[in-house]
């Protein structure tokens, strides 16, 4: 089993980089760190970056995880190859583009592009948001799965992910005490299904709800509260259909006492306040 410690970044292709930059800064509230080589990098916490938009196919998504030690890269490579997956280590140029010391890349069984990184760069400067959205950091990702049961086995056997709860067939997986860092949602495609940023309070969520409506941004779910993690949430649609989420108050899991629970694949399984999702993967 290979040890991954956190979700580190996402990389999204876009056919309109200026529009993606405008959305990430003016709407989401991320800090634009730099633009270079047809890419734009954004911060949401003390990491060098947590989101990168690059000129390319909007269906080209990459999810990066941090590993605890360089030895975990070799360990992961061996286990992934044993599982029948092709593995490649990143070139020096690719490492420089990602601001990491080294990494390996592979596609999981659904076709999701995954990168395991070692020694990713931190920032020596305080995160300075482009608008007062209350963001405290990049927290988790929803990932597409063509076979959630198979992919759950992959993430819990090859890696150290643990199931916190299920919504229908969808596993919510934790890497640390936080309820989940990765969620697997059934669909017929590969890629990132949604990206989550934590905000400080429910006040930030409600302020953003009004702000997004004023800006003509489509809200696709919420405001609401997840019965699984207890988090209050708001989902909205970004460039090329990517779904963004703000949430606050996510619970922590006591490893000694927690037992995964099964919630129904219906609105009540996603929201205990009565909000209904306009998100295909959240519908039965």
Q: Mind listing the pLDDT tens digit for each residue in 96-105?
A: 999 999 999 9
- Please tell me the class of the 4-118 domain: alpha beta
Q: Taking Cα atoms as reference points, which of 98, 198, 191 lies closest to residue 140?
A: 198
Residue 112 has pLDDT above 90, yes or no: yes
CATH number of 135-282: 3.10.180.10
The whole model's pTM is what?
0.96
Task: Give the burial class of 119: count Cβ atoms within 10 A of its Cβ; 0-12 exposed, 13-18 middle, 19 or more buried.
Answer: middle
Residue 113 has pLDDT above 90, yes or no: yes
Mean pLDDT throughout 40-67? 98
132 by DSSP, 3-state: which? coil
Residue 266 has pLDDT above 90, yes or no: yes
Residue 284 has pLDDT above 80, yes or no: no
Topology agreement, domain 4-118 and domain 135-282:
yes
Question: Where do the DSSP E strands lie in the chain?
Answer: 4-14, 31-36, 39-43, 51-55, 61-67, 87-89, 102-107, 113-118, 135-145, 162-167, 170-174, 182-186, 192-199, 219-225, 232-237, 243-248, 261-263
> What is the pLDDT at residue 283?
86
| 57: phi then psi, degrees, rounded to nearest 5 | -65, 125
- Tens-digit pLDDT profile for residues 143-172: 999 999 999 999 999 999 999 999 999 999
- Tens-digit pLDDT profile for residues 36-47: 989 999 999 999
Mean pLDDT throughout 108-113? 98
Domain coordinates in residue numbering, the chain = 4-118, 135-282
Mean pLDDT throughout 79-94? 96
Q: Which residues pair with 107 in a beta bridge?
A: 113
Residue 65 has pLDDT above 90, yes or no: yes
Decide if 164 contacts 174 (C-beta within 8 A).
Answer: yes
20 by DSSP, 3-state: which? helix
User: What is the rounded average pLDDT for all residues in the chain?
Assistant: 97
Cis peptide before 66 (omega within 30 of 0): no
What is the sign of the dihedral through the CA atoms of 183, 187, 191 and 194? negative
Q: Taking Cα atoms as reference points, which of 147, 109, 139 lies closest to residue 248?
A: 139
Written as one string, the DSSP assignment of 223-277 is EEE-TTT--EEEEEE-GGG-EEEEEE---B--TTT---EEE-SSHHHH-SS----
Of all residues in the chain, what percent carry a pLDDT higher than 70?
A: 100
Mean pLDDT throughout 32-56? 97
């Amino acid at each position: 089993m290979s040890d991954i410690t956190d979700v580190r970044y996402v990389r999204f292709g876009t056919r309109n980089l200026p529009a993606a930059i405008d959305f990430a800064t003016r709407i989401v509230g991320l800090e634009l760190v730099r633009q270079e080589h047809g890419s734009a990098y954004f911060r949401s916490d003390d990491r060098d970056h947590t989101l990168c938009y690059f000129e390319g196919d909007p269906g080209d998504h990459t999810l990066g995880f941090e590993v605890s030690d360089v030895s975990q890269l070799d360990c992961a490579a061996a286990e992934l190859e044993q599982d029948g997956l092709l593995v490649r280590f990143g070139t020096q140029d690719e490492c420089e583009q990602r601001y990491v010391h080294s990494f390996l890349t592979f596609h999981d069984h659904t076709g999701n592009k995954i990168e395991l990184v070692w020694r990713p760069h931190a920032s020596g400067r305080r995160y300075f948001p482009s608008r007062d959205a209350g963001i405290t950091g990049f927290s988790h990702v929803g990932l597409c799965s063509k076979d959630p049961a198979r992919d759950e086995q992959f993430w819990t056997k090859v890696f150290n992910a643990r199931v916190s709860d299920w919504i229908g067939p969808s596993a919510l997986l934790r890497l640390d005490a936080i309820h989940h860092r990765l969620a697997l949602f059934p669909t017929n495609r590969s890629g990132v299904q949604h990206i989550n940023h934590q905000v400080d309070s429910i006040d930030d969520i409600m302020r953003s709800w009004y702000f997004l409506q004023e800006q003509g941004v489509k809200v696709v779910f919420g405001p609401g509260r997840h019965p699984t993690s207890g988090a209050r949430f708001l989902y909205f649609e970004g460039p090329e259909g990517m779904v963004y989420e703000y949430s606050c108050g996510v619970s922590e899991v006591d490893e000694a006492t927690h037992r995964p629970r099964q919630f129904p694949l219906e609105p009540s399984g996603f929201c205990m306040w009565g909000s209904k999702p306009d998100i295909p993967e959240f519908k039965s």
